[in-house]
Amino acid sequence: MALIGQDINKAKGFLEAGQLVGIPTETVYGLAGNALNVDAVAKIFQTKNRPSFDPLIVHTDSIEKINSFVKGIPEPLQQLAEKFWPGPLTLLLEKQDIIPDLVTAGLNRVAVRIPKHPLTLRLLRELDFPLAAPSANPFGYISPTKASHVAQQLGEQIPYILDGGSCEVGLESTIVGIEEGKVTIYRLGGLDLNLITELVGEVEIKSHSSSNPAAPGLLKSHYAPSKEFILGDLNELVPEMLQREIPFGVLSLNKRFSLDGPSPQFQLSPSGDLVEAAKNLFDYLRQLDQSGASVIVAELMPEHGLGRAINDRLRRAAAKG
């Protein structure tokens, strides 16, 4: 079973030996390995049970280090980098040969980000290689936002989890690149789209296409609980469930229902704050998935700010196949 602690030297030792470590970031926990070591990278795919056509994000602590493994940062992306790093932003940049093809699934661009978490930033500063790190969950399941989530699912397979508390943002990073001269969003995430457009103007959004070859990981069904998950109008779904007498759980933005008995219900943000909702999303989904309910009913958030990224995750959680 993985040790859990805050010992950066221990984490560093395992990573230098080619082993994997769970690391905290402001978005979700990552399953990290040496990005320049093909064996460590292969271990990441194997541990997560992730198909090798789904590329990984490379993490480091400075733009200077990034420039040593990419072919440059085009102007509008440079602006985003300077403004939002460290933070929940991932950029797709042309890679140099030093980045193994396995990391990018053979694509020319590598996904890069500087995460905003004090422990992980200190760890990255002390390493002389960057870290490849997907979210630390089995492929297709809910992303982890606490060290205990990582331990529950991958604890048997890795030696160490660096415990950095609960993730501040709670949604994966927003993925941005350039296509035909246009700033393009490949995954809605923890960096609010409005902040990006304020800086670089209109953007193209490609994140909803499940067959998008530039971001093969964005499969339609993802972030999925193991229970049946139904998205809709809770004012209709809840009475329907009560009538069917099925044990069910409820996930709302801030609605409360008077339910007898053990039906668990979670409000993502009692005050309707979408930033708070994002932070709670994966933890509450996980608790519902582990509850006695056999069906989970949930509602979409308002389609603005982080609501759009939350809705993207909710739709993928509800998608079948």
Residues found near Mg ion in the complex (CB under 5 A): 135
Buried/exposed code over 268-306 (b: 16+ C-beta within 10 A; e: otherwise): bbeeeebebbbbbbbbbbbebbebebebbbbbbbeeebb
Residue 99 DSSP class: S
In angstroms, what is the minimal distance from the CB of 219 to ligand TXA? 8
Interaction partner, residue 58 (ligand TXA, Mg ion, none; CB < 5-8 Å by kind): none
Give the binding range for ligand TXA (CB under 6 A) out of 5-13, 26-34, 150-158, 246-254.
Answer: 26-34
Report yes or no: 124 and 11 within 8 Å, Cβ to Cβ.
Answer: no
Q: Which helix (H) or strand (E) holds 319?
A: none
> Residues in contact with ligand TXA, total (CB under 6 A)?
30
Question: How many Å apart are CA 296 and CA 108, to the nearest integer?
Answer: 40
61 binds ligand TXA (CB under 6 A): no
Give the binding range for ligand TXA (CB under 6 A) out of 71-79, 133-141, 147-155, 199-207.
Answer: 133-141
- Which residue's CB is nearer to ligand TXA, number 141 or number 266? 141
Closest CA to 250 of 262, 267, 236, 273: 267
The 139-178 site mask, x for binding ligand TXA (CB under 6 A), equals: ---------------------------------xx-x---
27 binds ligand TXA (CB under 6 A): yes
Strands (E), the chain: 3-5, 21-23, 30-34, 57-59, 89-94, 109-113, 131-132, 160-162, 174-179, 182-187, 204-205, 228-231, 248-252, 265-267, 295-298
- Which residue's CB is nearer to ligand TXA, number 222 or number 248? 222
207 binds ligand TXA (CB under 6 A): no
Report yes or no: 136 and 175 within 8 Å, Cβ to Cβ.
Answer: no
110 binds ligand TXA (CB under 6 A): yes
- Which residue's CB is nearer to Mg ion, number 2 or number 56? 56
Query: Where on the chain is the footprint of ligand TXA (CB under 6 A)?
Result: 25, 27-28, 30, 54-57, 90, 92, 104, 107, 109-111, 113, 115, 133-135, 172-173, 175, 186-187, 214-218
